[in-house]
Amino acid sequence: MRTPLKTRAFVLCFVPFALLLTCSFWMIQRFVQSTVREGLRTSLRQNQAAIANIRAKNNVEKSRFLRVAGENAALKAGIQLLRTHPNVESARTTVEDQLRELGEHMGFDFMLVSAPDHTPLAGVVRSGNGEKSQLVPLDLSRLDPHGAAFAFLNGRGFQMASIPVDEDEENIALLAVGEYFSLDGSNMPMALLQHGKVVESSVSGLPSVDLERALRGCGSKSECDVQLQGQNWIALPIEAYSGGYVLLSLENVDVATAPIQSRLRQLFLSLAAISLLVALLCSLGSSASIAKPIAVIVANLRAAASTGKLTELEGQTSSIQEIQDLARIYNRAAVSVRAAGENLQSAYLEFVGSLAHALDARDQYTAGHSLRVSQLSCATAEAMHLKSEDVERIRIGALLHDIGKIGVSDSVLQKPGRLTDEEFDQVKQHPVIGRRILEGVQGFAPYLPAVELHHENWNGSGYPKGQRGEETPIDARIIHVSDAYDAMTTDRSYRRGMTHEKAISILVENSGIQFDPRVVATFIELPVEVLTREAEGMERTKLHEQAAMAVAV
């Protein structure tokens, strides 16, 4: 049993391609992302441990310096003097000089002596940079009297440490020392926060408010994934300090994984190329069995489009059951279409011939009038540079435009005098009657607007629908002008036809009111020989022949 064509194409082409691409990319993507994230976390933990060790050594060294400074006899004597005479400037100057000397010797950037209740007594802070930097007296009014792990003066931060100064087992003061603190020189993005507020950050190009908002959901987590400016980051606490300070290290996951992601994309493109090649080979194998017979059928259809004749296929087209069924159905359709075309053409010819005979039998004027209107309408359409298929449609529509007068009584249609309102209402029904006659016949649909709407006026005062302007198709607007011109220049039983000049003047006068201004402007520029009534003496048999040929085309 042979596998159906649809199943074979799906299995051989779509399933391997889709499964290969989807599974390979998903597995590699997940594996790489997981590996990179774990590597980043490991690197951050190692950096955290290294920084913690360095800070522990610094703290040990600093605490040793603090103990040495706190035991300095001269400093203690100065502090006692300052406590005894707190308002004496020389006493404060003495303590500041001692602090300056200790600070320069030990390399501190900030030194402060406070009372046991943390009230600042005297202090010095480093001013300037490089070799010209020196410790200068500190403005005590700008200090936080309660102390903290960090102090910020003049836009610079200091990491603080303190030790009590005792004399005879009595605490006489607190000595606080500090070193400049800055994250600018760190080799990784870091941030110092106090109670969730960013105090200092080395994350370039990121506003502090955005960093605070991103870290708000981390809480007390040891590790936290955050989103910063549409990118994925990992935040890891390094150290916590008194006063609510926390030092964080951050790592941009997207930047760190970009090289790997680039390699991943290259790998995926390679896999995609391989998969496409496999799919192409599978498609060639399956399509080879159907391409040739399908091409034969397509070639026959193209030939039918150009010649109008749908020919049958000859011989065995394919070994595939579905293609054989398609060929058999195509041949049946070709036979049916050919027979239907022949019947339809015959019916068209008979129908148009019957209509023409009916018009001729009632009024010779009607036959000649329709042919002249058709000629004038074609000349106008060509002068307006309409497409050839539009001109042909207008020609046939003009031949049939008055076919509805078959439904108007002879007493009204051939009345020699002026029509009454009731009689004119009957005549106004001929566009609707004409549409009813033609709309039930296959193939006449393109001509229905010309038949029904050729008495619509530009200003909406026409009939049967009262359409205005370009609501009426161009076919009907052109026929309306040609119809009016021929009616004015044709002799009637109750009047003589107007001159060409008089008819043209009436058309111009009613341009934009009754007629399309663009159509009138084109019509009046037609050569005089085109507007003359060359077909007036043409025999009725010629009308039958041209009408039949028009529909057959």
Domain boundary assignment for the chain: 6-62+185-255, 71-168, 293-362, 364-552
Q: Which two tokens stand for residue 496?
A: 């003589």
Answer yes or no: same fold for 6-62+185-255 and 364-552: no
pLDDT of the residue at 170:
84
Q: What spatial distance separates the first Cα and last Cα of the chain, rounded to whole Å?
A: 50
Place of tokens 């989103």: 227
Q: Phi/psi at 317 (nearest 5 deg)?
A: -85, -30
The percent of residues in the chain predicted with pLDDT above 90, rounded, is: 17
- Give residue 534's pLDDT: 45
Backbone angles phi, psi at 391, to 5 degrees: -60, -40
8 Å CB contact between 298 and 274: no
Residue 118 predicted with pLDDT over 70? yes
What pLDDT was estimated at residue 386?
95
Name the residue with higher pLDDT: 317 or 248. Answer: 248
Q: What pLDDT, on the 0 to 100 scale, is given for residue 521?
A: 95
Find the length of the chain: 553
Range of 154-163, 333-342, 517-526 with top mean pLDDT: 517-526
Mean pLDDT for the chain overall: 77
Confidence of residue 513 (pLDDT cuts 50, 70, 90): very high
**Among the ranges given (57-61, 293-297, 408-412, 528-532), the one the predictor scored with the smallest mean pLDDT:** 57-61
**Residue bearing tokens 């809480």:** 219
Residue 370 pLDDT > 80, yes or no?
Answer: yes
What is residue 443's predicted lDDT score, i.e. its pLDDT?
A: 73
Query: Which position has the higher pLDDT, 61 or 102?
Result: 102
Q: Is the dihedral of CA 520, 526, 532, 534 positive or negative?
A: negative
Residue 457 near residue 517 (C-beta atoms within 8 A): no
Query: Which of 323 and 541 is assigned the larger pLDDT?
Result: 323
Q: Are 99 and 82 spatial neighbours (Cβ–Cβ below 8 Å)?
A: no
How large is the average pLDDT for residues 258-272?
74
CATH number assigned to the domain with residue range 364-552, chosen from the 4 options 1.10.3210.10, 3.40.50.720, 3.40.50.970, 1.10.260.40: 1.10.3210.10
Give 422 or 284, the one with higher predicted confidence.
422
Contact at 8 Å (CB) between 1 and 263? no
Locate 526 and state its tokens: 């037609």
The confidence score (pLDDT) of residue 388 equals 93
6-62+185-255 adopts what CATH topology? Beta-Lactamase (3.30.450)
Tokens of 262: 């680039």
Q: How far apart (Å, rounded) are the C-alpha atoms in residues 507 and 67?
A: 118
User: For residue 353, which of 133, 552, 126 has the smallest C-alpha distance?
Assistant: 552
> What confidence tier does 524 reach under pLDDT thresholds 50, 70, 90?
very high
Which pLDDT score, from 0 to 100, does residue 409 have? 82
**Is 544's pLDDT higher than 50?**
no
Which helix (H) or strand (E) is 99 found in, with range?
helix 89-106
- Measured CA to CA, the distance from residue 375 to residue 401 in angstroms comes to 13
Nearest CA among 192, 174, 314 for reference residue 241: 192
Q: Which residue has the higher pLDDT, 444 or 525?
A: 525
Cβ-in-10-Å burial (0-12, 13-18, 19+) of 142 comes to: exposed
Task: Identify each DSSP E strand in 216-288 by its residue range.
Answer: 224-228, 231-241, 245-252
Which residues contact residue 357 at a Cβ distance below 8 angstroms, ignoring those fewer than 6 apart? Answer: 544
> What's the confidence (pLDDT) of residue 210?
83
CB 256 within 8 Å of CB 193: no
Mean pLDDT of 400-413: 83
For residues 455-468, average pLDDT: 94
Strand, coil or helix: 198: strand
Q: What are the beta bridge partners of residue 234?
A: 225, 251
pLDDT level of residue 509 (50, 70, 90 thresholds): very high
Rounded to whole angstroms, the maximal C-alpha distance in the chain is 147
